[in-house]
Chain A
Amino acid sequence: MTDATTFEMENEASFGDYFALLKPRVMSLVVFTAFVGLMVAPVSVHPMIGFCAVLFIAVGAGAAGSLNMWWDADIDAVMNRTKNRPIPAGKVTGDDALAIGLTLSVFSVVMLWLATNVLAAALLAFTIFFYAVVYSMWLKRSTPQNIVIGGAAGAFPPLVGWVAATGSVSLEALLMFGLIFMWTPPHFWALALFLKKDYNNANVPMLTVTHGRRVTRAHLLVYTLLLAPLAVGLGFTTIGGPVYLAVAIGANAWFVKGAFDIFRRDEEQAEADSYRTEKAFFQFSLLYLFLHFLALLADAGLRAAGAI
């Protein structure tokens, strides 16, 4: 055994390193929203088939995450937030990540097709393609609107869950898609405002880098104002209910106020309290999405129990 091989084997990956390629934290959000999309659909799905549908949607999302890590290994290495991912950390080779991503992509789409229907499988395939190719390879490094269009990839899971249950797309499913789609830009721009150095170093054209922080604050406010009526509007469809409406009105009021506060601040104020408003907005944005989908689930439960 030479010294070189010894050194290489020191970095040999454990199972957890491969699992980290699938972006477990993103996956948990995918599992939750796909599950809600499936549960609020107006058809009853056998628990085993529902479980399989959510599992294969999650595996598909993981496959897309792995492909993203393969493609973005160079910029992940220079950003603090991502430099400990398996490839930049030297645990897993890029080729391994590519192989795992491609294999799991095909696997998840075929299995979702067998478990549910062809439209759901096609939508999952499109989601993986959209995230790995359209977002990661094409838009992320070329346009400051990367976050806006890339948000569509994260918005697909509840739609796929709905289609897995019903076999068709409907207004309710599209509004759930729209909720995540419109929520993504404010969520990421708040993050970009207080993680200012990272995206600069990596040369990723975030709006904060290309158009400045003033413009980003304005964009964040505009998208939040567009998001609010859409989020509340979902409450008036067949999947909405009293719980959802109450949550949507409360959460959106907070969100719009937070966006106004961010809009009114300038960099000096933000530096002075080390981006407290932006950080609070970002943290609440995670809760915001979780609460909306939890409320949809609660209303579906109330309907099933015959309470509304």
Chain B
Amino acid sequence: MAIRVEHELHKRRFSRNLGVGLVLVAFVVIVFGLTVVKVKQLGAVQGFDHVVRPELIPEVKQ
């Protein structure tokens, strides 16, 4: 078998690497999109850290 720089085998290996790479990128996009949709469906949310939450301050009775 003649030694060549670019063997047909390399093409197959490249197709596999490219395929796996594209699948992973697509997976990242899907999880990101799904997260955006899921979070938006929660309605209004508020963060709990480092902010004043007015409903936790006891009302002053007059």
Contact = CB atoms under 8 A, between A and B. Distances in A.
A125 to B, nearest CB: 20
A111 to B, nearest CB: 8
B33 A48 contact: yes
B41 A13 contact: no
Nearest to A91: B12
Given A46-B41, A49-B34, A115-B34, A9 B9 contact: yes
Interface string A21-58: 00000000000000000000000001011001001000
Contact of B12 (A6, A12, A46, A115): A12
Given A9-B9, A10-B9, A15-B20, A48 B15 contact: no
Contacts of A48: 33-34, 36-37
Interface residues on B, range: 10 to 19
Interface in A4-19: 6, 9-10, 12-16, 18-19
Given A12-B9, A15-B20, A49-B37, A55 B30 contact: yes
Interface residues of A, number: 17
Interface of chain A: mostly helix, strand, loop or mixed: helix
Contact of A12 (B13, B33, B34, B38): B13
Contacts of B5: none
Contacts of B30: 52, 55
A114 B27 CA distance: 14
A18 B22 CA distance: 14
Contacts of B33: 48
A15 B11 CA distance: 11
Interface of A: 6, 9-10, 12-16, 18-19, 46, 48-49, 52, 55, 114-115
Interface of B: 1, 9, 11-13, 15-16, 18-20, 30, 33-34, 36-38, 41
